[in-house]
Homo-oligomer: A and B are copies of this chain.
Amino acid sequence: MNTLNHTESTAVSTDVVIFTMREERLSVLLVKRSREPFKGFWALPGGLIGEGEALDEAAHRMLAEKTGIEGVYLEQLYTFGIPQRDPRGRVVSVAYYALLPYCRLRMTERAGNLAWHELGALPETLAFDHGEIVAMAKKRLCAKLEYSTIAFQLMPEKFTLSELQAVYEEILGERLDKRNFRKRVQNLGCLEETGEQFRAGKHRPAKLYRIKAPGRVDIIK
């Protein structure tokens, strides 16, 4: 059995764009870098892949290290590898994106070096090419809203249709018609009423729904 000839040393890392819906806004989790390069800049959670670790295992690990939670929706996004992307040397980064309901978090934004940032108000520049990675993840998420049930991965266990609609509107950046929206999501057949109601203020309470198969993301149409 041969061994490989390495002409150079290349590092492989994963960076994870972790999306959540926080205070009605689509947000990503960023880490403030404490070391050069890009000291003081915000970066995506990430790191080198471990020996014997699959790429998506590594991504799940990054996610668990920062958020403390497991079993969330995670999907490979793209691999970034221009030679200059890390000033320390050649690093190829396999980017992932994750979606999680904010309520599941048990996270301390420790010492201010871990924080949620609204997508509409990101820092001017992020470390490395992370701005580009976030932009691509947002674009992919937008596209997937149209032809899959991916948005459900951002919802808590129980939610109202208005809350779901607000999530779509925030991500797509446009208002949707209430009746058409409800017709569409109800026809998917993925939702069921919990039978419970949610009271929020001085108006009619809303029905609560849950997802029939919580882990599942379906391609629609």
Q: A-side interface residues toward B, CB under 8 Å?
A: 1-4, 6-12, 35-37, 48-55, 76, 78-83, 86-92, 94
Contact = CB atoms under 8 A, between A and B. Distances in A.
B3 A11 contact: no
Contacts of A87: 1
A10 B49 contact: yes
Given A55-B79, A76-B78, A81-B55, A9 B6 contact: yes
Nearest to A13: B4
Contacts of A51: 7-8, 83, 90
Contacts of A4: 11, 48, 86, 88-89, 91
A14 B154 CA distance: 34
Nearest to A93: B79
Contact of A2 (B8, B10, B54, B88): B88
Contacts of A94: 79, 81, 92
7 contacts: A1-B37, A1-B88, A4-B11, A4-B91, A7-B50, A81-B94, A92-B94
